[in-house]
Amino acid sequence: MKAVLLAGGLGTRLREETEFKPKSMVEVGGKPIIWHIMKNLSQHKIEDFIIATGYKSDVLKDYFLDYEARNNDFTLSLGRKHEIAFHGSHDESNWKVTLAFTGALTMTGGTVKRVEKYIGGQSFLCTYGDGLADVDISALLAFHKAHGKLATVTTVQPSSRFGIMDVDSKGLVQSFREKPKLDGWINIGFFIFEPEVL
């Protein structure tokens, strides 16, 4: 299965970090967020990635073009640019990464549509290139296959940011509820799609 990673957003809420790089390239523990997402997906046997780029796409392209040199020792012959020997390997050696510029201001649906030619007419996972979550991808795939629908979306019931007090008509506190679950569900950004959604 292929994974489409949406990595083209402007990153306005992380302006200090994203003035010179896309959100997906903000580092956590010395590695870009998108690397952590890819690493997690690879633990579930997803190693074919389509990264839809937009804002500051050159930063993503440079990172992956230089990946071997960043993660291996190497020997090169100065003056002969293409004579580089990499020594050793890394855990990501099986990853296949396609970078596709989908536009700096393209909305999510349009972005996915623009990478359709790389998906190859098969079911695919889609997620945001800047969102880390503890999602059991194998269980998500099994659920998707079991229900037979065109799409699966992951959700979570959010908790209140505040503790809640129940107060009676006399103003006496009856109980405290520390950050209870709220009504409704929110999208946490991991999708499985059948190709017909395109």
Q: What angle do CA 197, 54, 69 make, to 5 degrees?
A: 110
Architecture of the domain whose range is 2-154+188-197: Alpha-Beta Complex (3.90)
**Nearest Cα residue to 152 out of 104, 198, 106, 189:** 189
pLDDT tens readout for residues 150-188: 999 999 999 999 999 999 999 999 999 999 998 999 999
Question: How far apart, in whole angstroms, are the C-alpha atoms of residue 116 and residue 157?
Answer: 31
Provide the whole-model pTM. 0.86
Q: Where are the domains of the chain?
A: 2-154+188-197
- pLDDT, averaged across the chain: 91
pLDDT digits (tens, 9 = 90+) for 61-96: 999 999 998 888 989 888 776 788 888 888 888 999
